[in-house]
Amino acid sequence: EVQLVQSGAEVKKPGESLRISCKGSGYIFTSYWINWVRQMPGKGLEWMGKIDPSDSYTDYSPSFQGHVTISADKSVSTAYLQWSSLKASDTAIYYCATLSATVTVPHYWGQGTLVTVSS
Nearer to another protein, 16 or 45 (CB): 45
Closest residue by Cα to residue 63 from 98, 41, 84, 36: 36
3 touches another protein (CB under 8 A): no
Interface with another protein, residue 35, by CB under 8 A: yes
Calpha distance 90→82 (Å, rounded): 11
3-state helix, strand, coil in the chain (%, to 5): 10, 50, 45
Q: Which of residues 47-86 bind another protein (CB under 8 A)?
A: 47, 50, 59, 61-62
Q: Interaction with another protein in 100-119: which residues (CB under 8 A)?
A: 100-103, 105-112
Q: How far apart are CA 74 and CA 51, in angstroms?
A: 11
Q: Are 12 and 115 in contact (CB under 8 A)?
A: yes
Nearer to another protein, 13 or 92 (CB): 92
Binding site for another protein (CB under 8 A): 35, 37, 44-47, 50, 59, 61-62, 95, 97, 99-103, 105-112
